[in-house]
Chain A
């Protein structure tokens, strides 16, 4: 009953929240740019053209060209595809794994101890270093980046779901459902999970932002997606070598990265404000 009453309210708040509106608008533009990259890009991003190397931004190349003569504008657009693919998939996988692990840990006290120690252990690594180490073992590739980032960020979601479950399981209506003979799985899906949706949404939008950034960092370090794949991190890395002659090569993919991160942070902040009733009153 509680969530049925709350749902229209937070949606109304969400529609009025400026952070959410800005964040969603920017994110929509980034998603559209990625989806339409094949149509709106002016060059083939993989085509090497040494005769046109390191050209400044012009009418022919809106954002200039890199050291191999590739068009930076087309690279940025196609790079958005890789970033969003990695970000969204990591977000979905961490949410799914986080729900499963968090529910089990929150519900079954016997495995809770063991599962949480494993999560603590995984969170003891600096995130980017664990991702680098996992990439070292698995080798470059989009799938491996998604795997590494999912391993790195799942514990945060699992901890969040677990703590939400722990606080909900003692509430009267959950106790009542149990007294009425409902099974654990049914209680989890009908009564507990719907109440985890809010915190999960906030967390997911931040993990989306972290994953996009981490993917770019791995690419920049040369241990992410292979160098021939146009990704923001790879392009910024190639811009590093020519920063003295051609600042634009690293400037524009970095701007795209910043704007995407900004949109997801605004969205996350806005959702948190809307979903946390204590903040709403202020």
Chain B
């Protein structure tokens, strides 16, 4: 297991190297002179020259890349142009809302998705199955940000049950935090619950067709026990993969949901940085989220061993 973990961690090195290189190259994708674009039309030639030197853009490309790697390895993501603080500080300040939203949405997605898939599989071909699968197909197709707007209109504007937008820290005021989080988490999680439901259903159906299920039924094992003990445990491995993928997708989705609900997280940070051409912040946010994405995938792989004893890593 330890050897497997070390091997898996080593495979992350080239992936993260590519991630850092892509993040580095972003500045060089800016059409024309990046420094003029960053500083805007009012910049003087002296300012442009000073910034170019400060960013090291006057050095050869490979030297710039090397320095960028060295900086990232030291945990230095640079200085924000507009926020007047290091990018790392800005990221830490904004991480809490994004993390809370991602986990809340994941909870919604799993709580709706897994039981829906199992019910649909247990009653395959029934009205329940068809209704659940139609809902999940719609769930896959409905754009999350549009669903959010409709939820705001229905539950905040018309019914007045929940606040339309805003955020409260879960540590400072848990009740207010919950009220603010319900609509964002449900609208972000609903899309993903559809995916989880579809995968859970197909995995359960596949598991239910296996010989050991027939044997269990022949022995007179109850339907409940067949479903939960025999079929569900074997269907769990692909479902866990999807939950892992879901979490990674939710990080991206959270950006959009934060804009709709005015949540001061990483999503709002990156969008305002894009609009103000604050490139170090843009680079910092995507670097951190990509790293999180990669680590989540690793965690999912490691989880397999605990869920499925048949998988053994040497």
A interface residues with partner B (beta carbon < 8 Å): 117-118, 120-122, 124-130, 132-139, 209, 213, 216-217, 220-223, 236, 239-240, 243-244, 247, 250-251, 254, 257-258, 261-262, 265-266
Contacts and interface: CB of A to CB of B under 8 A. Distances in A.
Interface stretch (B26-34, B87-95, B103-111, B236-244): B26-34
B96 to A, nearest CB: 18
Contacts of A258: 138, 141-143, 146
Contacts of A135: 274
Interface in B53-86: none
B152 interface: yes
Given A121-B21, A138-B29, A240 B260 contact: yes
Interface stretch (B175-183, B284-292, B301-309): B284-292
B27 A137 contact: yes
Nearest to B251: A126
Contact of B19 (A121, A216, A250): A121
Contact of B286 (A121, A130, A138, A265): A130
Interface residues of B, number: 51
Interface of B: 14-19, 21-23, 26-27, 29-31, 137-138, 140-143, 145-146, 149-150, 152-153, 157, 248-249, 251-253, 255-256, 259-260, 270-271, 273-275, 277, 279, 282-283, 285-286, 289-290, 293-294
A120 B14 CA distance: 9
Contacts of B294: 124
Contacts, number: 145
17 contacts: A121-B14, A121-B15, A128-B252, A128-B256, A129-B252, A136-B26, A136-B277, A139-B31, A220-B145, A220-B259, A221-B256, A223-B274, A254-B146, A254-B149, A261-B141, A261-B142, A265-B140
Given A243-B152, A257-B146, A122 B141 contact: no
A262 B143 CA distance: 11
A261 B275 contact: no
Contacts of B145: 217, 220, 236
Nearest to B266: A129
A228 B277 CA distance: 21
Nearest to A113: B14
Nearest to A212: B143
A133 B266 CA distance: 13
B286 A250 contact: no
A126 B289 contact: yes
Given A220-B256, A236-B145, A117 B157 contact: no
B21 to A, nearest CB: 7
Contact of B249 (A126, A133, A257): A126
Contact of A133 (B141, B152, B286): B286
Contacts of A132: 255, 270-271, 274, 282, 286
Contact of B18 (A124, A222, A251): A124
Contacts of A133: 23, 26, 270, 274, 282-283, 286
A173 to B, nearest CB: 31
Contacts of A126: 248-249, 251-252, 255, 289-290, 293
B293 A134 contact: no
Contact of A117 (B18, B253, B285): B18
B282 A213 contact: no
A129 B270 contact: yes
Contacts of A265: 137, 140-141
Nearest to A137: B29
Given A137-B27, A258-B146, A125 B286 contact: yes
A118 B15 CA distance: 7
B22 A213 contact: no
A130 B18 CA distance: 13
Contacts of B149: 236, 239-240, 243, 250, 254
A156 to B, nearest CB: 13
Given A121-B19, A136-B26, A257 B143 contact: yes
A257 to B, nearest CB: 5
Contacts of B282: 132-133, 136
Nearest to A263: B141
